[in-house]
Amino acid sequence: MTDVKNQIDETVKANDVVLYMKGTKEMPQCGFSSRVAGVLNYMGVAYTDVNVLADEEVRQGIKDYADWPTVPQLYVKGEFVGGCDIITEMTLSGELDTLFDDNGVSYNKDAADKIREANA
| Exposure of 13 in the CB half-sphere (CA atoms within 13 A) | 7
* Average pLDDT, integer, range 67-77: 97
List the domain range (segments joined by +) for residue 73. 2-118
Model confidence pLDDT, tens digit, residues 29-44? 999 999 999 999 999 9
Q: How many domains does the chain have?
A: 1
Average pLDDT estimate for 6-28: 97
Banded pLDDT at 88 (limits 50, 70, 90): very high
Q: Compute the residue count for the chain.
A: 120
Q: How far is CA 57 from CA 5, 22, 46, 75, in A?
A: 9, 14, 25, 19
Sheet holding 73-76, edge to edge: 48-51, 17-21, 73-76, 79-82
- Rounded to two decimals, the pTM is 0.95
**Residue 42: CB partners within 8 Å, gap ≥ 6?**
108, 111, 114, 115
Residue 1 pLDDT > 60 = no
Give the CATH number, domain containing residue 90: 3.40.30.10
Of 99, 109, 94, 59, nearest in space to 75 by CA: 99
Burial per residue of 35-56, b for 16 or more beta-carbon CB atoms within 10 angstroms, e otherwise: bbbebbbebebebebbbbeeee
Closest CA to 97 of 85, 80, 115: 115
State the pLDDT at residue 2.
Answer: 82
Q: Is there a contact between 56 and 63 (Cβ–Cβ < 8 Å)?
A: no
Mean pLDDT of 82-105: 97
Express each pLDDT in 44-61 by its tens digit: 999 999 999 999 999 999
